[in-house]
Structure 1
Amino acid sequence: MTVSGIITAIIIGAIIGALGRLVVRGKQNISILVTILVGIVAALIGTWIADLIGVKDTGGIDWIELALQIGLAAIGVALVAGASGRK
């Protein structure tokens, strides 16, 4: 992976993670770094699932892929916030 690929993954991860945090109700006591990491993982898994169901490459904006990524980020944020809240 090139430097530009890593920077792009961080930016996309931050956006997807932030959108995932917006979907989850309440306050999440997790750091921005954890949010970015959850977003990166959600973006990768969401793209993989979109490829499996055949909606990865469509004309225009890939809304289904984006919805999958945000949904997975919301689940990831909820899980991480729930796990860190139990300490």
Structure 2
Amino acid sequence: MAILWALVAGLVVGLLAKLVLPGRQPVPLWLTVLLGLMGALVGNALASAFGVRHTDGIDWIRHLLQVGVAAVLISAVTPAYLGRRR
């Protein structure tokens, strides 16, 4: 069940990251989920390092870090993915 939740989290974080990036990112859904999952993991690690992983209520800072890292990953991988397809 944990794998299913990780995939759902990767999908949500990846789609939110694509939403905040300007323009179109023509990467497939599987890559969006993978990069969203990586963004969630790195964002959690950064939140732990900054001491904001567990706060009262919703952990907005942690979620912003997750989406931000995923957005950076998507923007970095998109040109490489497009170059590989040509």
Q: Normalising by the residue count of structure 1, what TM-score does the alignment of the two structures yield?
A: 0.92
Q: Counterpart of 1:31?
A: 28
RMSD value over aligned CA atoms? 0.8
Q: CA deviation at 1:5?
A: 0.8
Question: Which amino acid letter does the alignment assign opposite residue 15 of structure 2?
Answer: A
Please give the per-residue CA displacement for 1:6-34, whole angstroms capped at 9, x wherever unaligned.
00000000000000001111111110000
Q: What does residue range 1-87 of structure 1 map to in structure 2 within 5 Å?
A: 4-87=1-84
Q: CA deviation at 1:64?
A: 0.5
- The unaligned stretches of length 5 or more in structure 1 are none
Question: Which amino acid letter does the alignment assign opposite residue 70 of structure 1?
Answer: V
Q: Normalising by the residue count of structure 2, what TM-score does the alignment of the two structures yield?
A: 0.93
Percent of aligned pairs with the same amino acid: 37
- The unaligned stretches of length 5 or more in structure 2 are none
Q: How many positions carry a matched residue from both structures? A: 84
